[in-house]
Amino acid sequence: NLARSGAINSMLTQDPAASRHLVGLLRRTGGVMQTQAAIAVAGIAADARARETLFAQGALPQLTALLDADPELAGAAVQAVAHFASDERFRSTLTELGVSRSLAAQLSHRSPDVAQCALSAVANISFVP
């Protein structure tokens, strides 16, 4: 997919309007577009520069809200949050947003991959001083 190939990551760092649009799609209530945007953000957030761009566009509060959504949407949000949690620059913000409770609930997600991402995020966030 485009996120894994790096094409979207390059576009996001060069064009802030693209990241604004993607984060805007996260704000939509339900539907395929919101889910696809969350999946795209999860793939894109693996890149450190893309995380900075997404953060500047307000992605973290939107992703935090999606942690309590339906399983597919929450699963994509968990993966994206796990990428942010792996980066010490965003851990205190995640803590301030109160993601720990929602991540703890995802430890029993039906997908073992999502549960593992949630565990990784919780472990990384625990390093906030």
Q: Which of 1-10, 20-29, 98-107, 118-127 has the lowest mean pLDDT?
A: 1-10
In angstroms, what CA-CA distances link 48 with 4, 54, 109, 128?
Answer: 13, 10, 26, 19
What is the total residue count of the chain?
129
Q: Is the model's pLDDT at 6 over the cut of 70?
A: no
pLDDT digits (tens, 9 = 90+) for 63-109: 999 999 889 899 999 999 999 999 999 999 999 999 999 999 999 99
Residue with the larger pLDDT of the pair 5 and 73: 73
Q: Read off the pTM.
A: 0.87
Q: How many Å apart are CA 52 and CA 118, to the nearest integer?
A: 21
